[in-house]
Amino acid sequence: MMIAERDLKRIKEFFELSTTDFSLRKYHRPVLVYEVVEDKVCYSLWEADVLERFGLKNVDGWDKTENVAFCPDWMRDDVDEDEIEDIDLDDDL
C-alpha cells in the first residue's frame, strides 16, 4: 500500500537518514510517496499539486529503493507511535 507523507519535517528526516541525495529546493510542496515491501522502502518525491491532480492510485514506479533499517521508524508498520513517544532518551542505563 502506497503512503503519501506530506510532513516536511518527516521528509527531511528521511533524506537525512538515507544515502540518497535529493534536493528539496526544487519542490514548492514536496510529498514523499513510499511503500514498504519486505525489508525495502520504495519511494519517489512528488510535487503536491501533481499528486493531487493525478491521485496516489496512479503512481506507477519508484525513483529509488532503500533498506528499511536505514529509514525512520515511522515508515515501518510494526512500530507503534505511542511506544516511540514513551521512550525516555535521558534515562541512564
Cell numbers 505511542: residue: 82
Q: Domain extents for the chain?
A: 3-86
pLDDT, tens digit, 9 for 90 and up, residues 67-89: 888 889 898 765 444 544 554 55
| pTM for this entry | 0.76
> Can you read off the three cell numbers belonging to residue 90?
535521558
CA distances from 87 to 9, 10, 54, 70, 75 (A): 20, 19, 39, 20, 18
Whole-angstrom distance, CA of residue 34 vs CA of residue 90: 32
pLDDT, tens digit, 9 for 90 and up, residues 16-41: 888 777 778 888 999 999 999 888 99
